[in-house]
Structure formats: structure tokens, C-alpha cells
């Protein structure tokens, strides 16, 4: 059931917040063992909140699943890491949680993820395996894999995730749900455990575009506790949702349809673009010439920022501490060695290297310059078109373990999502049909729509048109 339809049922008196929670808890108990999306949930405290839910509020009485890197007062916040799994309990609510509560929603469930959001498969979780509800042999995508898988499996109504280089859009694409990464500065990150602070954004994963609009409405807006959060008005995201695409110009970047893209993905995405054209959109071919540098640029900047952000996990202040250190340096070293998994260590080593004296100019400064070129590509494109349409990922969900020995291959598969984070622009993934891939049948494919900074309303409007005509491209 979508958030929108559930809200109607609640308002009509056909169900209650407590009944919804009990139903979800039952579904999780019987079905989540196949998916592994939930790390934990706290039915007692959710029921206590349900008892005082105000149904007149926009999300009144609706439970929302939360990625395990967002702080919710009194609950675990493991970030999918052994480092925080043992003895960390959130001492406060993230701003998005405070805003969800102010809109009447009930945070319910802690969703699995790649450790500290580093990855695109959820295989880097140190805590459990999450499977794709469409095919349990396959990844759900990542890093917000638990959030996407639960919404796809119907064990959550809607969820929050975070997106540093694709971690909302890519799992949404692989699981056949809607995932929205807002513009940099649109949503406060206060209370999100930072991965790469110049790239991170929080956003919704939902069953419908309208649900995504309702979620964004609730979480967007200024917050003095995040200095990067913009003090600009939040538009009404539902107002123009059904205005269609007639007369809008949609750019198709040739670099997003080249080598390495699976033919089934290409066919589904092209069919979705055709359907938007049939609804009156004008399709414009264009070029984003610096696309080929996005992976290299991101995998310098993101690890650099991560290596700095993760220095706070030292065995003193948070989480894991080694048992019998020889001295203080040994305490830092062993706590980090024991607490972090292999991908996180790889990122810290890479990041420390590119920031080190002698290499800073060769790697980090240069990456920042290329980042500016990538942002300008989009600024130029949005002089000509209202939005850009593309695939989200080069292939549908791969099998669990397929890239285990090859992190570079995994990084390359982020090619279509990283640029939006580097440029700070919003992006949405909306389901556009299914295809067969590598022995798997009917695997979901997502259409990505990218727009200018703070252009979420138009993205949602286009996504709504794509969703409404999904029968055109099954
Ligand atoms: N896959 C990318 C990475 O591993 C992006 C992850 C994310 O968006 N959190 O860094």
C-alpha cells in the first residue's frame, strides 16, 4: 500500500496507526528473513507514538523506515558497521526525523546499508546480507539497500536513505521503487552520520512519485544546525505534480548511452523516453563532455572527505574500543583495525593518500577542478533543456558476490549517478519496466531524471508522467 492510499484509509477511519504497525511487524517477522532489510525495529516505542498520532498532519500516523545512518533518539545507529553495532545509542533526533515527527510520521525500523554508506550493493554491511525482493540471489543495490528492499517487498510503506554518489537512486532502480536525491542544501544533514560532506544528501525511497513528493515536502527546508542547508522557501511539491510534460524539453546525453550499457536497460530507458515524447515532451540530444571523468573525480573526493570524517571513530568517543591496548596509540590502531571492514579501510587509505603532502595537488586539487567542469556541463545543458533523462545504472541488479574481488568494477557501475552529487543537482529514479539479465528474469530498470539545482518540483512532475504511462513500456 502506498503512503498516499494509506493516508486516505487512516482519514476514512478504515485503519489505525497501531493496526498498521502491528501488520508491518507481522510481515517483517514472517517475510523479512528472505530479504534481510531490517537490522532492528522497536515496536513498543512506535506503538506508544502511534497512540498519540495526529492524523490531521500530512504524514499523520504513517510509519517510515530509516536507514541505519540517521540518528533517532534512543535507537541504534550502526551504519552497517561493527564499530557502532555494540554500544552506540543515538542521543538525539536527526533534523529529518524531527521534521518527519512534526509531520505526524512514526520512524519505524533500522534499515541495512553498506558500511558507512560505502558501496553500491549493501554487500559491504558488516552485519547482514540484504537480498533483492525480485530475485533473492541478487543484490538490492546500495548503499540504501535495506530501505529500497523493504519498500519493494512491502515490509515498509516508505523509507529514508542517503545518497552520496547514487545510494538512493541506484537501489531504487534495482528494486523497482522511486528514489529521490534532493539538491545539495535542500534537506538538512544534521544527524546523518557523514560520509562525504560535500556530496551527502538525505532523501525518500517510496512506492510512488506522489509518495516521494509528500516525503520531500516533510523533510525539506532550512535548518540552522546544518550550515550547508539553504534558507530558501520550500515550494508545494504536490501542486504541479500532474501537469504533465507537454512543451518541456528533455535532454538525452549521448555519454549515458555508450559502451557498457546492457541492451535491456537501454531498451527500457529509450521506451520510457519515447513515452514522454508521446506525451508532448521535446527530446533534445546533448553532450555532457566531462562524464567520463566522474568516476575518477568522485573516487578521489569522496574517500578524501571520508578519511577526515571517519577520524572521529577512534575508540574513545564512539562505539567499539579494543579490549587490552598497550598504550593510547595502540588503542586507536586496534579499535579501528577491529571496528572497520575492508571497504571502509580501503577508502580511508585512498583518502589519506590523496590528501597527503606531495599528492594533494596531483589528486585532490585536480579532482576539485574537474568537479567544476562537470558542474558546468550541467549548467550549460540546463540553458537548453528543463531536465536530463538517462539510465540509473548500466545493468539491472547483479548476483550477490559477483564483484567481490573487483572493487574497481563496482566503482565503474556508479558512472551515471555520481555526477549529480558532484554538481549538487537533484536526481530521481522512477521504475520504467523490467528486463532479463545474466540468468535473471523480469529485473527492474530505473529511469533517471536530473534537473537544475532546487528543481525538484519539475523532476517530480516529469517522473509522475513517466510513472503514469508505465503500461506503455512494461
Ligand atoms: N557507490 C558509491 C560509493 O560507494 C556511492 C555510495 C553512496 O551514495 N553513499 O561511494
Q: Does any ligand 1 atom lie closer than 6 A to the CB of residue 3?
A: no
Q: Which residues, in sequence order, are CB contacts of 160 under 8 Å at separation 6+?
A: 64, 65, 66, 67, 70, 96, 100, 147, 202, 203, 204, 205, 215, 219
**Residue 103 C-alpha to ligand 1 middle, in angstroms?**
29
Identify the active-site residue in 90, 125, 143, 275. 143
**Residue 163 C-alpha to ligand 1 middle, in angstroms?**
7
Q: What DSSP line would sit under 305-349, residue for residue?
A: HHHHHGGG-SSSSSS---SS-SSHHHHHHHHHHHHS-HHHHHHHH
Q: Does any ligand 1 atom lie closer than 6 A to the CB of residue 262?
A: no
Model pLDDT, residue 471? 54
The cell numbers describing 28, all together, are 517483517
**Residue 247 C-alpha to ligand 1 middle, in angstroms?**
35
148 - beta bridge partners?
Answer: none
Cα 145 from Cα 254, distance rounded (Å): 29
Cell numbers 568516476 label which residue?
A: 295
> pTM of this prediction?
0.98
* CB 269 within 8 Å of CB 303: no
Atom of ligand 1 nearest to the CA of 195: 9
Q: Which residues of 130-139 are buried (b: 16+ CB within 10 A; e: fewer)?
A: bbbbbbeebb
Cα 298 from Cα 364, distance rounded (Å): 10
Element (H, E) at 461: helix 456-468
Q: Does any ligand 1 atom lie closer than 6 A to the CB of residue 163?
A: yes
Residue 143 annotated to the active site: yes
Model pLDDT, residue 290? 98
Q: Does any ligand 1 atom lie closer than 6 A to the CB of residue 75?
A: no
**Residue 46 C-alpha to ligand 1 middle, in angstroms?**
30
* CB 214 within 8 Å of CB 3: yes
**Residue 397 C-alpha to ligand 1 middle, in angstroms?**
16
Element (H, E) at 161: strand 159-163
Q: Which residues of 235-272 are buried (b: 16+ CB within 10 A; e: fewer)?
A: bebbeebeebbeebebbbbebbbeeebbebbbebbbbb
Atom of ligand 1 nearest to the CA of 119: 4
Cell numbers 553500491 label which residue?
A: 120
Phi, psi of 151 (to 5 degrees): -65, -40
Cα 384 from Cα 470, distance rounded (Å): 27
Q: Does any ligand 1 atom lie closer than 6 A to the CB of residue 414?
A: yes
CATH architecture of the domain with range 3-219? Alpha-Beta Complex (3.90)
* CB 418 within 8 Å of CB 294: yes
Cα 35 from Cα 155, distance rounded (Å): 10
Q: Which residues, in sequence order, are CB contacts of 279 under 8 Å at separation 6+?
A: 244, 245, 246, 465, 469
Model pLDDT, residue 259? 86
| Segments of the chain assigned to CATH 3.90.1300.10 | 3-219
* CB 277 within 8 Å of CB 285: no
Model pLDDT, residue 308? 97
| Segments of the chain assigned to CATH 3.40.190 | 249-288+373-468
DSSP 3-state of 30: helix
Cell numbers 523516453 label which residue?
A: 273
User: Tens digit of pLDDT per residue, the chain (474 long)?
Assistant: 899 999 999 999 999 999 999 999 999 999 999 999 999 999 999 999 999 999 999 999 999 999 999 999 999 999 999 999 988 999 999 999 999 999 999 999 999 999 999 999 999 999 999 999 999 999 999 999 999 999 999 999 999 999 999 999 999 999 999 999 999 999 999 999 999 999 999 999 999 999 999 999 999 999 999 999 999 999 999 999 999 999 999 999 999 999 899 999 999 999 999 999 999 999 999 999 999 999 999 999 999 999 999 999 999 998 999 999 999 999 999 999 999 999 999 999 999 999 999 999 999 999 999 999 999 999 999 999 999 999 999 999 999 999 877 889 999 999 999 999 999 999 999 999 999 999 999 999 999 999 999 999 999 999 999 998 765 444
Atom of ligand 1 nearest to the CA of 117: 9
Phi, psi of 213 (to 5 degrees): -60, -45
Q: How many CB atoms lie within 10 A of CB 127?
A: 20
Q: Does any ligand 1 atom lie closer than 6 A to the CB of residue 164?
A: yes
Q: How many CB atoms lie within 10 A of CB 62?
A: 29
Q: Does any ligand 1 atom lie closer than 6 A to the CB of residue 166?
A: yes
CATH architecture of the domain with range 249-288+373-468? 3-Layer(aba) Sandwich (3.40)
Helix, strand, coil in percent for the chain, rounding step 5 = 40, 15, 40
Amino acid at each position: 500500500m502506498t503512503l498516499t492510499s494509506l493516508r486516505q484509509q487512516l482519514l476514512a477511519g478504515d485503519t489505525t496507526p497501531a493496526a498498521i504497525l502491528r501488520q508491518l511487524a507481522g510481515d517483517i517477522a514472517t517475510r523479512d528473513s528472505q530479504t534481510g532489510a531490517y537490522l532492528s525495529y522497536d515496536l513498543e516505542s512506535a506503538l506508544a507514538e502511534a497512540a498519540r498520532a495526529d492524523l490531521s498532519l500530512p504524514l499523520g500516523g504513517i510509519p517510515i523506515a530509516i536507514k541505519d545512518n540517521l540518528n533517532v533518539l534512543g535507537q541504534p545507529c550502526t551504519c552497517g558497521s561493527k564499530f557502532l553495532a555494540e554500544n552506540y545509542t543515538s542521543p538525539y533526533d536527526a533534523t529529518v526525523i524531527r521534521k518527519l515527527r512534526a509531520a505526524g510520521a512514526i520512524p519505524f525500523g533500522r534499515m541495512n546499508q553498506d558500511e558507512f554508506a560505502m558501496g553500491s550493493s549493501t554487500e559491504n554491511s558488516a552485519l547482514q546480507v540484504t537480498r533483492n525482493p525480485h530475485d533473492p540471489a541478487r543484490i538490492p543495490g546500495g548503499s540504501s539497500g535495506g530501505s529500497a528492499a523493504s519498500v519493494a517487498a512491502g515490509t515498509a510503506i516508505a523509507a529514508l536513505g542517503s545518497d552520496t554518489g547514487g545510494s538512493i537512486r541506484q537501489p531504487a532502480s534495482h528494486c523497482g521503487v522511486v528514489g529521490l536525491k534532493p539538491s545539495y542544501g535542500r534537506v538538512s544533514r544534521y544527524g546523518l552520520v557523514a560520509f562525504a560532506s560535500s556530496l551527502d544528501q538525505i532523501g525518500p525511497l517510496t512506492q510512488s512519485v506522489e509518495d516521494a513528493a509528500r516525503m520531500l515536502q516533510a523533510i525539506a527546508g532550512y535548518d540552522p544546525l546544518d550550515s550547508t542547508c539553504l534558507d530558501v522557501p520550500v515550494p508545494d511539491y504536490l501542486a504541479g505534480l500532474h501537469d504533465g510534460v507537454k512543451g518541456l524539453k528533455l535532454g538525452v546525453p549521448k555519454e549515458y548511452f555508450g559502451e557498457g550499457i546492457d541492451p535491456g536497460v537501454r531498451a527500457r530507458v529509450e521506451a520510457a523516453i519515447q513515452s514522454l515524447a508521446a506525451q508532448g515532451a521535446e527530446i533534445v540530444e546533448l553532450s555532457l563532455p566531462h562524464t567520463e571523468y566522474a568516476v575518477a573525480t568522485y573516487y578521489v573526493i569522496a574517500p578524501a572527505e571520508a578519511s577526515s570524517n571517519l577520524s572521529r571513530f577512534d575508540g574513545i568517543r564512539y562505539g567499539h574500543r579494543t579490549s587490552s591496548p598497550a598504550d593510547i596509540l595502540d588503542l586507536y590502531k586496534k579499535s579501528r583495525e577491529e571496528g572497520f571492514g575492508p571497504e571502509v579501510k580501503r577508502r580511508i587509505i585512498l583518502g589519506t593518500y590523496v590528501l597527503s603532502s606531495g599528492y594533494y595537488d596531483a589528486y585532490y586539487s585536480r579532482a576539485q577542478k574537474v568537479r567544476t567542469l562537470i558542474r558546468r556541463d550541467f549548467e550549460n545543458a540546463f540553458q537548453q533543456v528543463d531536465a536530463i533523462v538517462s539510465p540509473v545504472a548500466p545493468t539491472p541488479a547483479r548476483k550477490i558476490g559477483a564483484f567481490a574481488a573487483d572493487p574497481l568494477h563496482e566503482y565503474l557501475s556508479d558512472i551515471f549517478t555520481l555526477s549529480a552529487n558532484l554538481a549538487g543537482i537533484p536526481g530521481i529514479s522512477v521504475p520504467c519496466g523490467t528486463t532479463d539479465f545474466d540468468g535473471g528474469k523480469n529485473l527492474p530498470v530505473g529511469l533517471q531524471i536530473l534537473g537544475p539545482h532546487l528543481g525538484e518540483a519539475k523532476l517530480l512532475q516529469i517522473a509522475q508522467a513517466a510513472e503514469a504511462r508505465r503500461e506503455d513500456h512494461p
